[in-house]
Amino acid sequence: MPILPDALKQRLATPLKIGRVEVASRVLQSPLSGVTDLVFRRLVRRYAPDSMMYTEMVSASELHHMQQLPKLMDIDPNERPVSIQLFDCRPDFLAAAALKAVAEGADTVDINMGCPVNKITRKGGGSSLLRHPQMAAEIVRSVAAVVDVPVTVKTRIGWDDDDINAVEFGLRMQEAGAEMLTLHGRTRSQGYAGTARWEWIAQVKQALSIPVIANGDIFSAEAAARCLVQTGADGVMCSRGTLGYPFLVGEIDHFLKTAELRQPPTVAERLRCAREHLIMLAEYKGVRGIRQARKHMAWYAKGFEGAADLRDRLCQIETVEEGCELLERAIALLSHSSKSEQRRHGEAFERSPTFISA
């Protein structure tokens, strides 16, 4: 485990200041489309009560044409702090959407300038804004002009290896009024492949005065510590590491606050969490929730004997009862192995980044 230098440790012990919003944790749960709904955030928050969480990204154009707000924007009155993430390329639509986000209770409004998906970049949103910094700045200015909460930006280090512009881009966002920048250390053309290049995050942190959050390949407390030492960033944001593992943000937060590693959950504890996740999703979204739960269940069921078979079955469930029965049977079988044995599996599972390719 890397030793955090004293100056960094002292900074990490203070609240993260995003404009006038203070957050008591330096570990954030990223926006993940199809994942970070109200139910998932509730599970993450149980282990990381102080952390900032993000909704899935919401299209400002679609919002413009909707009579009712989408479920994507649901915020639990008890969940704080929380940010609603928006994407689009039209400053006027984004400003209007941001007002709705604030009315829903968002503590900050985040603009997605990092999504690599063609469907979104073709229309000028997500990471394509990296190639149009003037438009990106106009977006930040327009949104910041109408809302009374901080506007933040989440982006990547550049479009491709020939066009890495994270420092200039970050400076422009700051100048336009962004109050925090989250940087995923990959280019758009990298997608999720290769490793996140934290050295670029270090350069951006050096250049900007607003908080810079490091994102990319944070799969453990050890990785978070290494990233913070290497980048000097103001915090870290967890993403794929939380798929089927809502414990990660809390584990890292605990480590940064106490310098002690929290005991990872056993496989049985993970599967119990999967069961709860399934029940909550079905209650919240009905049949659609059960279908969405299949992929979550598959993410939970990793790293123990019989996991592949359980995964296959969980991916086909039609009812909550079916899913619960499968999980309960697996938990009963696991009860024959000792807790420490289960934990060992849990550690191997949690530390391996390969299981979570997007």
Residues forming the active site: 115
Task: Indicate the Cα dihedral angle 74, 297, 264, 328, nearest 10°.
Answer: 120
**Cβ of residue 333: shortest distance to ligand FMN, in angstroms?**
30
Nearest distance in Å: CB 337, ligand FMN: 30
Under the binding rule (CB under 6 A), the answer on residue 218 touching ligand FMN is: yes
Q: Which residue intervals of 162-247 are DSSP H helices? A: 166-176, 198-207, 221-231
The residue (of 177 and 241) whose beta carbon lies closer to ligand FMN is 241
Pull the structure tokens for residue 340: 């420490």
Say which amino acid occupies 76: D
Residues within window 151-170 making contact with ligand FMN, judged by CB under 6 A: 154
Q: Is the torsion defined by CA of 294, 296, 301, 303 positive or negative?
A: positive
Q: Which stretch binds ligand FMN (CB under 6 A): 141-149, 238-246, 252-260, 333-341?
A: 238-246
Indicate whether 215 belongs to the interface with ligand FMN (CB under 6 A): yes
Q: Give 73's DSSP letter.
A: G
Question: Closest Cα partner for 224 from 253, 266, 203?
Answer: 253
CB of 207 closer than 8 Å to CB of 229: no
**Sequential DSSP letters for 82-132:** EEEEEE-S-HHHHHHHHHHHHHHT-SEEEEEE----HHHHTTT-GGGGGG-
Which residues inside 287-346 make contact with ligand FMN, applying CB under 6 A? none
Q: Would you count residue 241 as binding ligand FMN (CB under 6 A)?
A: yes
**What's 18's DSSP letter?**
E
Alpha helices for 186-242 (secondary structure H)? 198-207, 221-231
Alpha-carbon gap, residue 234 to 228, rounded angstroms: 8
Binding mask 1-30 for ligand FMN (x = CB under 6 A): -----------------------------x
Residue number, 123 or 339, with CB nearest to ligand FMN = 123
Task: Pick the stretch among 68-76, 93-101, 235-243, 246-254 that binds ligand FMN (CB under 6 A).
Answer: 235-243
Rounded CA-CA distance 3/14 in Å is 18
Query: Which residues partner with 21 through β-bridges?
Result: 18
Q: Which of 25, 83, 108, 112 binds ligand FMN (CB under 6 A)?
A: 112
Q: Is 17 helix (H, G, I), strand (E, B) or coil?
A: strand
Q: How far is the CB of 321 from ligand FMN (least distance, A)?
A: 28
Q: Smallest distance, Å, CB 34 to ligand FMN?
A: 6
CB 60, min distance to ligand FMN, A: 13
Among 4, 21, 28, 57, binds ligand FMN (CB under 6 A): 57
User: Is residue 125 near ligand FMN by the rule CB under 6 A?
Assistant: no
Q: Which is nearer to ligand FMN, 241 or 289 (CB)?
A: 241
> Smallest distance from the beta carbon of 243 to ligand FMN, in angstroms?
7
Distance CA 280, CA 12 (A): 34
Q: What is the total count of residues that contact ligand FMN (CB under 6 A)? A: 24
For position 33 contacting ligand FMN by CB under 6 A, the verdict is yes
Taking CB under 6 A as the criterion, the residue among 81, 125, 216, 323 binding ligand FMN is 216
User: Can residue 217 be called a binding residue for ligand FMN (CB under 6 A)?
Assistant: yes
| Cα angle 238, 349, 27; round to 5 | 20
Pick between residue 7 and residue 358 the one whose CB is nearest to ligand FMN: 358
Interacting residue with ligand FMN among 83, 85, 108, 220 (CB under 6 A): 85
CA distance 154 to 183: 6
User: Does 89 interact with ligand FMN (rule: CB under 6 A)?
Assistant: no
Interface contacts to ligand FMN, rule CB under 6 A: 30-35, 56-57, 85, 112, 114-115, 154, 184, 192, 196, 215-218, 239-241, 358
